[in-house]
Amino acid sequence: MVTKMVVKRQKSSGKVCAAASSYEDNIITATTSAFGEAAGAASGVLLKAAKDSLTDATDNMFKADQAHLMELSDDTKLIELRDGSIDKVRGT
Protein backbone atom coordinates (compact mmCIF):
# COMPACT_ATOMS: atom_id res chain seq x y z
CA MET A 1 0.00 0.00 0.00
CA VAL A 2 1.42 3.35 -1.01
CA THR A 3 0.75 6.70 0.60
CA LYS A 4 -2.15 8.91 -0.42
CA MET A 5 0.24 11.59 -1.69
CA VAL A 6 1.88 9.15 -4.11
CA VAL A 7 -1.48 7.85 -5.32
CA LYS A 8 -2.61 11.41 -6.10
CA ARG A 9 0.60 12.20 -7.94
CA GLN A 10 0.38 8.93 -9.84
CA LYS A 11 -3.16 9.78 -10.99
CA SER A 12 -2.07 13.27 -11.98
CA SER A 13 0.84 11.89 -13.96
CA GLY A 14 -1.48 9.49 -15.74
CA LYS A 15 -3.80 12.33 -16.72
CA VAL A 16 -0.92 14.43 -18.07
CA CYS A 17 0.41 11.51 -20.13
CA ALA A 18 -3.08 10.72 -21.44
CA ALA A 19 -3.61 14.34 -22.46
CA ALA A 20 -0.23 14.43 -24.17
CA SER A 21 -1.10 11.26 -26.09
CA SER A 22 -4.56 12.55 -27.01
CA TYR A 23 -3.27 15.85 -28.36
CA GLU A 24 0.02 14.64 -29.79
CA ASP A 25 -1.12 14.82 -33.42
CA ASN A 26 -2.63 18.29 -32.90
CA ILE A 27 0.58 19.55 -31.29
CA ILE A 28 2.75 18.17 -34.09
CA THR A 29 0.42 19.56 -36.78
CA ALA A 30 0.30 23.02 -35.18
CA THR A 31 4.07 23.10 -34.68
CA THR A 32 4.66 21.96 -38.25
CA SER A 33 2.35 24.58 -39.74
CA ALA A 34 3.84 27.36 -37.59
CA PHE A 35 7.54 26.48 -37.76
CA GLY A 36 8.08 23.87 -40.47
CA GLU A 37 8.51 20.13 -40.85
CA ALA A 38 11.69 19.85 -38.77
CA ALA A 39 10.11 21.65 -35.82
CA GLY A 40 7.03 19.43 -36.04
CA ALA A 41 9.16 16.30 -35.95
CA ALA A 42 11.21 17.72 -33.09
CA SER A 43 8.07 18.52 -31.10
CA GLY A 44 6.93 14.91 -31.49
CA VAL A 45 10.26 13.64 -30.20
CA LEU A 46 10.22 16.13 -27.33
CA LEU A 47 6.66 15.21 -26.36
CA LYS A 48 7.51 11.50 -26.33
CA ALA A 49 10.62 12.16 -24.22
CA ALA A 50 8.59 14.21 -21.75
CA LYS A 51 5.94 11.48 -21.43
CA ASP A 52 8.59 8.78 -20.98
CA SER A 53 10.42 10.87 -18.39
CA LEU A 54 7.22 11.53 -16.43
CA THR A 55 6.27 7.86 -16.56
CA ASP A 56 9.72 6.79 -15.34
CA ALA A 57 9.73 9.37 -12.54
CA THR A 58 6.27 8.26 -11.43
CA ASP A 59 7.31 4.60 -11.42
CA ASN A 60 10.44 5.41 -9.42
CA MET A 61 8.42 7.47 -6.92
CA PHE A 62 5.97 4.57 -6.50
CA LYS A 63 8.77 2.05 -5.95
CA ALA A 64 10.57 4.34 -3.49
CA ASP A 65 7.37 4.85 -1.50
CA GLN A 66 6.78 1.10 -1.35
CA ALA A 67 10.34 0.52 -0.17
CA HIS A 68 9.98 3.22 2.47
CA LEU A 69 6.74 1.71 3.77
CA MET A 70 8.34 -1.75 3.84
CA GLU A 71 11.23 -0.35 5.86
CA LEU A 72 8.86 1.26 8.33
CA SER A 73 6.66 -1.83 8.62
CA ASP A 74 9.40 -4.01 10.12
CA ASP A 75 10.05 -1.47 12.89
CA THR A 76 6.56 -1.34 14.42
CA LYS A 77 7.59 -2.78 17.79
CA LEU A 78 10.52 -0.41 18.04
CA ILE A 79 8.34 2.55 17.07
CA GLU A 80 5.75 1.60 19.68
CA LEU A 81 8.50 1.21 22.32
CA ARG A 82 9.95 4.59 21.38
CA ASP A 83 6.55 6.28 21.48
CA GLY A 84 5.79 4.66 24.84
CA SER A 85 9.10 5.87 26.24
CA ILE A 86 8.39 9.39 25.04
CA ASP A 87 4.99 9.30 26.71
CA LYS A 88 6.59 8.16 29.99
CA VAL A 89 9.12 10.97 29.87
CA ARG A 90 6.42 13.52 29.16
CA GLY A 91 4.23 12.04 31.87
CA THR A 92 1.23 11.48 29.63
| pLDDT per position as a tens digit, 47-58 | 999 999 999 999
Question: Counting runs of H as helices and runs of E as strands, what totals does the chain give?
Answer: 4, 0
Burial of 31 (0-12, 13-18, 19+ CB in 10 A): buried
Range of the domain at 42: 4-90
Evaluate if residue 35 carries a pLDDT over 70: yes
- How confident is the model at residue 90, as a pLDDT? 84
Full DSSP string of 12-80 = HHHHHHHHHHHTHHHHHHHHHHHH-HHHHHHHHHHHHHHHHHHHHHHHHHHHHHHHHHHHHHTTHHHHH
- How confident is the model at residue 25, as a pLDDT? 97
Q: Residue 50: which of 76, 24, 83, 77 has the closest Cα?
A: 24
Evaluate if residue 83 carries a pLDDT over 90: no
- How confident is the model at residue 36, as a pLDDT? 97
Domain count, the chain: 1
Evaluate if residue 17 carries a pLDDT over 90: yes
Which pTM value belongs to this model? 0.76
